[in-house]
Amino acid sequence: EAEVAQSPRYKITEKSQAVAFWCDPISGHATLYWYRQILGQGPELLVQFQDESVVDDSQLPKDRFSAERLKGVDSTLKIQPAELGDSAMYLCASSPRTSGSGVAKNIQYFGAGTRLSVL
């Protein structure tokens, strides 16, 4: 069964360092999402791509976070510089193209996530 791939699974870094996370969505999925999940809370959307275009980045802290999906396939989320409060699980999800009919396009498939600890 196709899965969303994320790497690394775990990342430990010191504050003020740069970190990057990678996500490879399910093949053919046009929409890609990055979420941040703080322990004990639900995930919060950071950025949503449709192909290579940003659909929503309203909750992305743009002074330190950046995301790209250059060829509309895999994506990278970067934090520079990392702060203590960035410690969280970073989840990537994908879904089929949002246009058109049918329920399947709305279902989001999640990767296993990257657990970030900032010391």
Partner 1 sequence: KQEVTQIPAALSVPEGENLVLNCSFTDSAIYNLQWFRQDPGKGLTSLLLIQSSQREQTSGRLNASLDKSSGRSTLYIAASQPGDSATYLCAPGGATNKLIFGTGTLLAVQP
Asked if 43 contacts 37 with a C-beta cutoff of 8 angstroms, the reply is: yes
Report if residue 115 touches partner 1, rule: CB under 8 A: yes
Phi/psi of residue 115, each to 5°?
Answer: -90, 115
Q: Binding to partner 1 by residue 117, rule CB under 8 A? A: no
Rounded Cα–Cα distance for residues 64 and 108 (Å): 26
CA distance 80 to 53: 22
Does residue number 14 form part of the binding site for partner 1 (CB under 8 A)? no
Instruction: Please report whether residue 82 would count as binding partner 1 according to CB under 8 A.
Output: no
CB of 20 to partner 1, least distance (A): 19
Question: Minimal distance in Å, beta carbon 75 to partner 1?
Answer: 15
**Minimum CB–partner distance for residue 18 and partner 1 (Å):** 24
